[in-house]
Amino acid sequence: MKTKRILMSALGVVICGISVGMFKHAALGVDPFQSLMSGLDAVISIRFGTLYVIVNLILLLFALVFDRRKIGLATLINLFLLGYIAEFSQACCRSAFPDMSLPGRLALLTAAIVIMCLASAFYFTADLGVSTYDAVSLIWSERQSRIPFRICRIICDLICVS
């Protein structure tokens, strides 16, 4: 049973990485954390996959210090694979669709949303840990019981988008 959950987590991360690459190529918006990553990618001249690992290792340290229970095998799979898969996926999209019109970008965005939903279903159902970014809001809301999770998440998202 554990093997099935590990495979579900890995498949979820792979599919998510493909979706993130599609979002990035469509250039019509990404989630707050990917917005932060794209901003950092624009100013730091290392590969996106490597940058993703570095930023997530910093967030992992936070989670390990404050609440290790949020970290699981899926967290590590996400940390080490997602950035490189997104980088590869975006390169494939760039190669396959070099000059996309707005309708093409909208179609790619729509496909990326559907694919992300599928990826999330695999990743969440496996229940083997959360991403390091998700862990920050969860840990913060649990340690500050007077601030609900939704507010902690909104603040984290606003910080990333800023």
Q: Which residues contact 61 (CB under 8 A, 6 or more apart)?
A: none
Place of tokens 């694919």: 115
**Pairwise CA distance, residues 74 & 56, whole Å:** 13
What does pTM read for this prediction?
0.90
Largest Cα–Cα separation, the chain: 49
Output the CA torsion 5→138→77→48 (10° steps): 150
Can you give the pLDDT at residue 146? 83
Based on the structure, what is the number of domains in the chain? Answer: 1
Which residue segment(s) compose the domain that 18 sits in? 2-161
- Would you state the pLDDT for residue 1? 63
Q: Indicate the SS3 state at residue 107.
A: helix
pLDDT along the chain (162 residues), means of 10: 91 97 94 92 93 95 90 93 96 95 97 97 93 91 84 93 90
CA–CA separation, 17 vs 89, rounded Å? Answer: 7
SS3 50: helix
